[in-house]
Amino acid sequence: MKPIQIEDGEWWYKGCFIQKQTYPGLKPYHVFKDTENQETIDSCFTMTEAKKLCKLNEVKNYKYGAKSFLVSLQ
């Protein structure tokens, strides 16, 4: 399974969100959980690292899921 792009610069993967950040001084990828509180996991430099964080912190009982975003895009 590959990350599913739900918006420009945002993906859903293994119950987590990956967001591309463009602010100076911040790592380019921010990873947080698809839960009620959307807890931050970490930030990292590459998409490969972001996917690894998602795998290590997989959320089984997520709040939204990628399909809820894909339906709204159609």
Q: What is the pLDDT of residue 72?
A: 53
Q: What is the pLDDT of residue 20?
A: 98
Q: Give 10-residue mean pLDDT values along the chain (74 residues).
A: 94 98 95 97 98 98 88 53
Q: What is the pLDDT of residue 6?
A: 93
What's the whole-model pTM score?
0.90
Exposed, middle or buried: residue 25 (CB in 10 Å: 0-12, 13-18, 19+)? exposed
The answer to whether the beta carbons of residues 27 and 43 sit under 8 Å apart is yes
